[in-house]
Amino acid sequence: MKPYFKPFLLVFLVLLFDQVLKIWIKTNMYLGQEFVIFPDWFIIHFTENNGMAFGMELAGSAGKLLLSIFRVIAIGGIGYGLYYVVKKKFHPGFITCVALVFAGALGNLIDSAFYGVIFGDSYSGVAEVFPKEGGYAGYLHGKVVDMLYFPLIEGHFPQWFPIWAGEEFIFFRPVFNIADMSISTGMGLFILFQNRYFPDQKIKEEEKSTDAGATENNDETVEKPL
């Protein structure tokens, strides 16, 4: 059980912070409300979306259900993958990446699966927990709570800029949550350090490249018959 402790503790902590913050937002803020933490670059802004990372979504009830079902299947696969890489003693850094992605995906699935049943809507005020008239949506049709907003740079595209000439831009515009951040961190770490996580694969690729170069050099030195 010891090898599984750290990755699953990481999953638990990500889920804990993610869900505590989301539940606090749902039970203390109305939709669209915001608190400025640090002027001009960090705002807590309450918004909801139908389920993809950083506010992206599939339209309609059918799209929402399809996305939720896909999430359940994907999370099952990632969860098994986490169990597998721990069991096979993969690089600790790679295990951490898988754990972060799993935790983030599971965190957003909890919103989609249960929040519509647990909470009332947040349009007219702060959401009620288990309202008498029922929640704002059915099982697997809940919306994902987002709140982290970092409008670091605001301005307008220059007039010569194609397509968006003169339009306002904000970087970073998407509003996201801790689960989204966990997924992005896991994927980012994997991209940056994959050669460290799989050094044997890098050596094999280098050996293939060396062998191919040596073969080409040998071919060039062979004299053509008269």
Catalytic entry in 18, 180, 200, 219 = 180
Q: At what angle do helices 2-28 and 178-197 cross, to 10 degrees?
A: 150
The answer to whether residue 219 is catalytic is no
Measured in whole angstroms, the distance separating CA 49 from the mean position of its chain's CA atoms is 14
* Structural tokens at position 193: 């350090």
* Structural tokens at position 191: 């991209």
Catalytic entry in 146, 200, 211, 219 = 146
Phi/psi at 46 (5° precision): -80, 120
* Structural tokens at position 148: 């982290």
CA separation for the pair 182, 10 (Å, rounded): 10
Measured in whole angstroms, the distance separating CA 20 from the mean position of its chain's CA atoms is 18
In three-state form (DSSP H/G/I as H, E/B as E, the rest C), the secondary structure along 95-137 is HHHHHHHHHHHHHHHHHHHHHHHHECCCCCCCCCECCCCCCCC
The answer to whether residue 18 is catalytic is no
Prior bond of 119 cis (ω within 30°): no
Known catalytic residues? 146, 180
